[in-house]
Structure 1
Amino acid sequence: MINKYNFFVIIVIFFNIFKSYCQEKLPLQEVLIDVEKRFQCNFSYANEDVNTVLVIPPDTELNFVDTIKYLENNTNLVFNTLESKFITIISKEVSKILICGIIRDFETNEPLQNVTIKTSETFIISNFKGYFELDQVKANDSVYVRHLGYNPLLKSVDQFKKRGCETLYLLPKTEELETIIIENYLTQGINKTTEGSLYINYDQFGILPGLIENDALQTIQTLPGINSFDETVTNINIRGGTHDQNLITWNGIKMYQSGHFFSYISAFDPNLIHTTTLIKNGTPASLTDGVSGSIQMQSKNARSSEFGASIGVNFINVDGSIDIPLGKKASLQISGRRSYNDILETRTYQNYFEKAFQNTEVVSNESNVIEASDNFRFFDIGTVLLYDVTPNDKVKASLIAMDNNFSFLESAFINNEEQSRESSSTQRNLGGSITYQRNWNEELSTTIEFYGVTYRLRAENVDILNDQKLTQENKVLESGIKVISDLTLKEGLYLHSGYEFVETGVSNLEETDSPFSRLFGKDLIRKHAVFTQIDYTPWRGSHLKGGIRLNYIDPFEEFIFAPRIHFNQRLSNRFIIDVAGEFKNQTMTQTIDFQSDFLGVEKRRWILSNQNEVPILKSKQGSLGLTYKNKSWLCNIETYIKNVDGIVAQSQEFRNQYERSQAIGSYQIAGIDFILNKKIHQFSGWLSYSYADNNYTFKTLQEDTFPSNLNIRHIIALGANYNEKGFKVSAGLNWRTGKPTTRPVPGNEVIDNRINYQPVNSKVLSEYLRFDASVTYDFNVTNTVKMHTGFSIWNLTNQQSELSNYYEFTDINFPQEVIQNALELTTNAVIKVSF
């Protein structure tokens, strides 16, 4: 008698037998295409070996190894895995032949030795002439060629059989890019990586509203969570933080100056920037500082084999660049820019000048001053040397210098005699770095980075009517060395570890001549750090990065642990989830004194932590994101919370009752970043939205908790671009709620000769709105000469938005509101010739 259990077993067996007989066999080529998509691998085979083979598709629950075994057991074929991503398929019985070849560098045509040439059954190494020879190779096999620093190559033996001794060219790897999970995040060339960072490749860059050149610091302001409330590149706020909380580097050099031209263009020449990486959370353990975010700019890493040059001009400056091959192993790039307003003042220059100096003595002279004139200029120059000492040893040396110089001449009648005095402000940054990379073998490489930078801001501000001169100077001198080891433990598991030492000295001088007084301070901090990080890809569509950094701060004798983590998981072909968190710290911040402000050109001074009035900044951040991507649609939403402790009130730009406060506190922010993107052929349109609730906590102030000065609650951006055969056009709008402000109490504005303010940041300014548009056209003049042209309009509708405000006493001892307005309608154009 059959019981229930036996009956169930019989049914299951019958069902599986029925299923196996009923399941349809498919052509092997179709099955291989599906397997390639599932496991992101590549098959190499001769069509005649597989085009008649039928097979039942393997179970989708099988892993990669079991899938390959299944296919081999169910076909009369041999599957050989040359590398994890390359599998050759050959018949079991085929003829064998001899093949030979010469391996050369694609760019230099030089022969390459020690190249590995591998088939399914054997391998060999090329000699000093790049030559190799393999005997008894199956005629339907494939040849896999690999070499450190070059992209691998896969060719069929059949090509050798037809052509004889083959010359094979290997293309040098120009970059070790992180895996891209979202392409064209906002426009072409902006991608999101498995590391959680946003990666901008300017070789592939499209166009954004109001931009006609690849200004890195302007570009990132179009991304959700990034804002500049005063429209400059020297006041970039990443998720509610101040500009000094951003780590900005170029070729590994930490930069203390970031802006030119009254802070409206970045101090980094677009000709010297190949990629920009923006990190908002989950920072690699090898990086420190930047408690709000990191902006890493890099020039190209591949040496040039051909001469190239360019020259361009826009309404602000002229620029030139030259790229020179130095033999077969090195190349040198030199690029520079200079403003020309001392020769010709364009309307663009005048708009920037009026915007930068509104409400300052430069444009608001006292009535007794009979004449005033100004002179402003900037320049920058950079050079990069790339030297491939050997295929396994590479050197990159970089140098950058930038200068802003402003002078202001006043004339007045004093004691019936005309006198003239000149005020001036100079800002200079000089930095250099050397990076040496050694590839010991396929699993281990070492990188040594050294950099040095010096920054100087000096102003002499003359009060001609009172015959008094105020001198201010801020200097930073910093050097650092970093050693990084990259080890491949196994496929999909990598270990990054290293050591870093940084020494930073900062000095500040303030001196008046009548009556004479002098204040000078100098501080020095040395930081040691060890760090380690694991990058792990446990399975397809999953990536985990976890690391820890141990910092030692001298002279405070303080150890600080800084863990970081980022996890990325593809839930399906359409959904991706991101989880990130980090602890960070920094020992440098900026202080602001509006009463003596370097003529208004740059009012912030760098200062070091001292554990008393200026503590070490420490941040904690966590975020959770979800991405939906389906064909032409992209939707990404990310929520985050962040806390930064140790901020100084004087670094927050208070213009109310707390302007001179020395209080120490923190800010807490919770927010959402959202983007929706739609692509239709050459057209792309997007909508981005950011929400933030940002609040201060200062326990020693009368109001211990209140909205942050950067508490801009809602930000919306709409944009679109079109790209067709060198023609690019883009337009968009930016809207946001007003910046917080503190107003006097109505009807009781003054008490004891002081402004009587309402609760701090209890009001907001009017909404901000700006329309921008830009168009560029690239075309070939000849086979060797290319032309880039462009035109842009900033604030197309000439909207008079209020950026910020403050109050000061007038002659009648009544608080008068002073408003800083946005930049008015401003145009720019560019012409650049490359050859």
Structure 2
Amino acid sequence: MNKKKYLFLIICSLFFCQLFSQEKSKHSLPLIELLEILEKHSSYSFSYANEDLKNIKVPEPPNILSFTETIAFLKKETGIEFTIINNEQIAVKVKAVNLSSKEKILIEKLDEVVLTNFIAPGITKQKDGSLEIDYNTLNILPGLIEPDVLQTLQALPGVESVNETVSNINVRGGTNDQNLILWDGIRVYQTGHFFGLISAINPHQNKTVKLYKNGTPTNYGNSVSSVIKLSSDQEVNKTFTAEAGITFLSIDAYLDTPLDDKSSIQFSARSSINNAFITPTYLQYYDRAFQETEITENSSNLIKTEEDFKFSDISFRWLYQLSEKDVLRINYFYITNELEFTANEFNQNNIYVRRSTLGQKNLGMGAFYKRNWTEKFSSSFQIYHTNYNLTSSNENNLSEEEINQENKLNENSFKINTIYKFHSNFQLNSGYEFTSTNIKDGEASGEITEENIHSENLNTNSLFSSAKYTSPSKNTVAEIGIRANYFNKFNLFLAEPRISFNQKFLKDFSAIALGELKSQYTTQIVDFQNDFLGIENRKWQLADQENIPVLRSKQLSLGIHYQKNKWLASIESYIKRVNGITSQSQGFQNQYEYARIIGDYEAKGIDFLISKKINRFNTRVSYSITDNNYYFEDLSANAIPNNFEITNSFTLATSYSYKDFEISSGLTWRSGKPFTPISETGLTNNQFDYEATNSSNLKDYFRVDISASQKFKIQKKLQAYAGISIWNILDHKNIINAYYQQDDNNQIYLVEQKALGLTPNFVFRVKF
């Protein structure tokens, strides 16, 4: 059976599941879920705060009710007000109720929203310029079957991945290590499984993600690019829920259960399935992750090879409502990738067995405590520990030598934050943060000892404060603040002012201005491309103000947004300058591969988005244009195109929803990344004779994806979800990187690293 027939049968199966699941049971269901169904069957959209409705369940209304009768039914059952604003929008407001002291809970104030359904239902743009994704309401996206956090972010304008991985997200021209990624306030230093192809944070425990591309709040530091804030559910759960699922890559389980009226725990675990059986999806990911590395290099002397690869993650969160004014949260996560490679080689009439291993681990744990002292004043305290460990062992049969490498990072931090609302329109946010980071890096022939380890430690003290003003009409929101960092090792003091301003005008328009200065003292570098078996060759390093400076950035952006009659349009321009980057952190594979120089990069660009909802269809078009250049005084007086520059990026996507059935498809096209060709001579003095750095580009990148999903009921308290996705359905050959090498006969050849080809995936989940 060919691929097209196979796809057709699966989609038909999902459709028939949808048909047979239409019979309504008489049990209750979440109000948010019911409102989503009503939106799909009417021209109205509902405006509400997710936190207000999250734990509200209602009896399932009879099928015979009209839309108006259903709204009346919900109002009667819940006491919630439904106010028709216009022909397209209904406001949902929960009436104030008097709670006993036992029932009162702490709820964080929601940010003001400027644009809803930014690229899809569940994605909103906040008035502080950030983008927030709510996975409770997010619709299916093209090529994805699960809410993979870092894959989802790449659907947003200005967020790219030059090499198609989640461990190399480039926000407005920056490298991945320039992003601050937090899960419930704990820094995550390993973001990917399969060495970067899927997110390492379990997608079912993460409930929201917020992205700051500019105008970052002052309580976040150590990042010159974006801040990606992942959050689990922040409310005590009152009912038991559990779910389990399997895909063509992994199996996972998730549990959320109350311990009593005041506390609940969440637990999730995931593991790769390749030890049980191999799927076509796994084979595609395996070839993509390990291509052009020692694992897939084919030597003429190889007789047999064996690989043992696995990944897993577990996470835990305990939430305890100490009193009506106090809440405590405990978090833990552990992420791992492990690879063991065995090769049998025939050489000099002997058979040699070579074993190599690679391990990548990240553990994080932390505690968060918040107290509302009065209606106007609250404080919070966060403490965390995170450690990252990358190790490898590589045997050489002929020399009988074993090369061991390691890169270890340990970080401890605590933060105190206070919020004082001294007026209904004014708010002051202030605090202090201390962070201690230690990084050890070692390499040795044989066992690594203390003599082989280079260790660095850096302590940072930071004070931050910001004032926020919201006009009585809420048409004007402005926040200005400053973060002051002191690096004790260098006796260095850096002040970082930040500002965000949002003004609504002409009823349906809003203008936004954002600006920031930031710094960063941890960075990833590449010493040699074949470090750590050539698979994960980036190593974390601390700034030393000599070879690796403290990075400094400044950025300004301006934008205008419009939303009316289910039309949404947004245009935003920016200019960003980062000083103090090292060539080792930029992944050069040309004449500057072994250079040790310091410079800057400057990115200028425009992000454009337009979307429209028509009945059950959602369609969006986005386009980004970028000019991103290096400036290395020691290399050239002229600008050099950035290795991560994507000059043009275009996306077209559409989705269709009918009750519990969803289907989505999308097209992605972008310019090829910069590339340095060699001259016709090829070699000069036994070295590659390169032309001007990044003077050419790889072929344009093009991909079409499709996804479909279906929810249905198996029993009264048992629900199921099935989905299929096909990444690169046209199997277009995309080259994401290219560089030159020489073989044993000194012949020059071009290495071309390919992106994923046609890659199907399937998911089936059950929820109790």
Counterpart in 2 of 1:529? 462
Identify the match of residue 571 of structure 1 among 492, 500, 505.
505
* C-alpha separation in 1, matches of 2:436 and 2:619: 46
Deviations 1:36-72 (A, max 9, x none): xxxxxxxxxxxxxxxxxxxxxxxxxxxxxxxxxxxxx
Counterpart in 2 of 1:216? 149
* C-alpha separation in 2, matches of 1:586 and 1:346: 41
Q: 2:106, 2:325 within 8 Å by CA — same for their partners in 1?
A: no
Q: 2:515, 2:556 within 8 Å by CA — same for their partners in 1?
A: yes
Counterpart in 1 of 2:610? 676
State the one-letter code of the partner of 2:519: N
Identify the match of residue 270 of structure 1 among 203, 219, 234.
203
* C-alpha separation in 2, matches of 1:170 and 1:381: 31
Cα distance, 1:683 vs structure 2: 1.1
Q: Compare 367-376 and 636-645 and name the one that shifted more.
A: 367-376
SS of the equivalent of 1:579 reads: strand
Counterpart in 1 of 2:725? 792
Cα distance, 1:184 vs structure 2: 0.5
Counterpart in 1 of 2:620? 686
Deviations 1:74-119 (A, max 9, x none): xxxxxxxxxxxxxxxxxxxxxxxxxxxxxxx9999xxxxxxxxxxx
Cα distance, 1:291 vs structure 2: 0.7
* C-alpha separation in 1, matches of 2:391 and 2:111: 41
SS of the equivalent of 1:756 reads: strand
Q: 2:102, 2:324 within 8 Å by CA — same for their partners in 1?
A: no
* C-alpha separation in 1, matches of 2:130 and 2:100: 40
Q: In the alignment, does 2:328 pair up with 1:400?
A: no
Alignment of 1:234-273 (within 5 A): 234-273=167-206
* C-alpha separation in 1, matches of 2:266 and 2:449: 49
SS of the equivalent of 1:355 reads: helix
- Change in 2 beyond 3 A, CA 1:265/1:166: closer
* C-alpha separation in 2, matches of 1:673 and 1:633: 17
Q: Compare 659-668 and 463-472 and name the one that shifted more.
A: 463-472
* C-alpha separation in 1, matches of 2:140 and 2:323: 38
Identify the match of residue 266 of structure 2 among 320, 328, 333.
333
- Change in 2 beyond 3 A, CA 1:173/1:484: closer
Identify the match of residue 431 of structure 2 among 490, 498, 523.
498
Counterpart in 2 of 1:229? 162
Counterpart in 2 of 1:22? none
Counterpart in 2 of 1:191? 124
Structure 2-normalised TM-score? 0.86
Q: In the alignment, does 2:315 pair up with 1:382?
A: yes
State the one-letter code of the partner of 1:810: D
Q: 1:772, 1:796 within 8 Å by CA — same for their partners in 2?
A: yes
Q: 1:262, 1:353 within 8 Å by CA — same for their partners in 2?
A: no
Cα distance, 1:466 vs structure 2: 3.5
- Change in 2 beyond 3 A, CA 1:304/1:412: same
Cα distance, 1:597 vs structure 2: 2.4
Q: Flag structure 2 segments of 5+ consecutive residues without an equivalent.
A: 1-53, 58-92
* C-alpha separation in 1, matches of 2:423 and 2:506: 26
* C-alpha separation in 2, matches of 1:189 and 1:688: 17
* C-alpha separation in 1, matches of 2:449 and 2:56: 65
Higher RCO, 1 vs 2 (CA within 8 Å, ≥6 residues apart): 2
Deviations 1:510-529 (A, max 9, x none): 11249999742110000001
Counterpart in 1 of 2:743? 810
* C-alpha separation in 2, matches of 1:571 and 1:219: 31
Cα distance, 1:303 vs structure 2: 1.0
Q: 2:179, 2:227 within 8 Å by CA — same for their partners in 1?
A: yes
State the one-letter code of the partner of 2:492: E
Alignment of 1:146-165 (within 5 A): 153-154=95-96
SS of the equivalent of 2:282 reads: helix
Q: Flag structure 1 segments of 5+ consecutive residues without an equivalent.
A: 1-104, 109-150, 156-164
Alignment of 1:38-437 (within 5 A): 153-154=95-96, 172=105, 175-437=108-370
Cα distance, 1:535 vs structure 2: 1.1
* C-alpha separation in 1, matches of 2:514 and 2:447: 55
* C-alpha separation in 1, matches of 2:461 and 2:702: 46
* C-alpha separation in 1, matches of 2:329 and 2:102: 24
* C-alpha separation in 2, matches of 1:367 and 1:517: 38
SS of the equivalent of 1:402 reads: strand
Deviations 1:142-171 (A, max 9, x none): xxxxxxxxx98448xxxxxxxxx9999978
State the one-letter code of the partner of 1:381: I
Q: 2:404, 2:447 within 8 Å by CA — same for their partners in 1?
A: no
Deviations 1:366-421 (A, max 9, x none): 11121111110011000000000001000011000111100100112344332212
Counterpart in 1 of 2:3? none
Counterpart in 2 of 1:461? 394
- Change in 2 beyond 3 A, CA 1:804/1:517: farther
Cα distance, 1:723 vs structure 2: 1.7
Q: 2:106, 2:327 within 8 Å by CA — same for their partners in 1?
A: no
State the one-letter code of the partner of 1:576: S
Q: Compare 422-431 and 354-363 and name the one that shifted more.
A: 354-363
Cα distance, 1:598 vs structure 2: 1.2
SS of the equivalent of 1:390 reads: coil
Counterpart in 1 of 2:534? 600
Identify the match of residue 647 of structure 1 among 581, 603, 622.
581
Cα distance, 1:551 vs structure 2: 0.4
Identify the match of residue 384 of structure 2 among 420, 433, 451.
451
State the one-letter code of the partner of 1:237: N
* C-alpha separation in 1, matches of 2:398 and 2:231: 49
- Change in 2 beyond 3 A, CA 1:214/1:516: closer
* C-alpha separation in 2, matches of 1:745 and 1:811: 21
* C-alpha separation in 1, matches of 2:696 and 2:105: 58
Q: 2:293, 2:535 within 8 Å by CA — same for their partners in 1?
A: no
Q: 1:262, 1:352 within 8 Å by CA — same for their partners in 2?
A: no
* C-alpha separation in 1, matches of 2:445 and 2:103: 65
Identify the match of residue 557 of structure 1 among 483, 491, 496.
491
Cα distance, 1:342 vs structure 2: 1.4
SS of the equivalent of 1:212 reads: coil
SS of the equivalent of 1:271 reads: coil
Q: 2:105, 2:321 within 8 Å by CA — same for their partners in 1?
A: no
Q: Compare 803-812 and 769-778 and name the one that shifted more.
A: 803-812
Counterpart in 1 of 2:37? none
State the one-letter code of the partner of 2:460: K
Counterpart in 1 of 2:63? none
Counterpart in 2 of 1:666? 600
Cα distance, 1:631 vs structure 2: 1.2
Identify the match of residue 658 of structure 2 among 724, 727, 737.
724
Counterpart in 1 of 2:678? 744
- Change in 2 beyond 3 A, CA 1:680/1:370: same
- Higher-Rg member (1/2): 1
Deviations 1:629-650 (A, max 9, x none): 1211111000000000010001
SS of the equivalent of 1:222 reads: coil
SS of the equivalent of 1:745 reads: strand
Q: RMSD across aligned C-alpha pairs, in angstroms?
A: 2.2
Q: 1:196, 1:566 within 8 Å by CA — same for their partners in 2?
A: yes
Cα distance, 1:790 vs structure 2: 0.5
State the one-letter code of the partner of 1:395: L
Counterpart in 2 of 1:115? none
State the one-letter code of the partner of 1:637: I
State the one-letter code of the partner of 2:175: T
Q: In the alignment, does 2:590 pair up with 1:656?
A: yes
- Change in 2 beyond 3 A, CA 1:822/1:791: same
Q: Compare 299-308 and 560-569 and name the one that shifted more.
A: 299-308
State the one-letter code of the partner of 1:480: S
Counterpart in 1 of 2:566? 632
- Change in 2 beyond 3 A, CA 1:168/1:259: closer
Counterpart in 2 of 1:139? none
Q: 2:267, 2:315 within 8 Å by CA — same for their partners in 1?
A: yes
* C-alpha separation in 2, matches of 1:485 and 1:808: 56
Cα distance, 1:702 vs structure 2: 4.4
* C-alpha separation in 1, matches of 2:615 and 2:398: 65
